Amino acid sequence: IPQIPVSISLTLSSGLLEESIFFGMPYYMTGHPMILLGSGIIWSAVHLFNPEVFSIEALAYGGFLFTIPHMFFSIRTWISKKGWFAIIFHSLWNFSVLISFCALGLRQCSILNDMFDVLNIVLAVSAGAIVYLAYQNKKRHINQFLYLFPSLIIAFALVIWFSKAVF
């Protein structure tokens, strides 16, 4: 188990961020369900890597195997226009895994760790807003400039994240 700092806020917001970026945005921006398979494969492959060590010996095959059924669950859920259910399930899954690790003493639990957690929440809410706007745009035409505000927030958060001043 990698010993990277994980908090409850990061765990809960990661479900919204991952589902929005890898499933919601691709589906509602293209309207084609097959795009979900491609983005889902990328999402599953990302879960192979341990953030501390990038080597073949450190690949997280267990985590990868857990993502495959969830990928098909998410695809089906997003296609049925119930993406909110996939977001809630994903967030609760992450939360239950973290709490079980904390209960067993494998991790140290905290509510909010540092600025990274705050930026992750900002990114998650902004990505969720873009998905919601794209969903609404499928039902009725909305002003495309509404995408600008959450996109600028994402860009600003990424600039802060990658600047040396935060860490």
- Report pLDDT digits (tens) over 119-147: 999 999 999 999 999 999 887 887 777 88
> In terms of pLDDT, which residue wins out, 129 or 51?
129
For residues 14 and 2, the model is more confident at 14
At position 91, the amino acid (one-letter code) is S
137 touches 147 (CB < 8 A): no
Residue found under tokens 């994903």: 90
Enter the DSSP assignment of 112.
-
pTM score, two decimals? 0.83
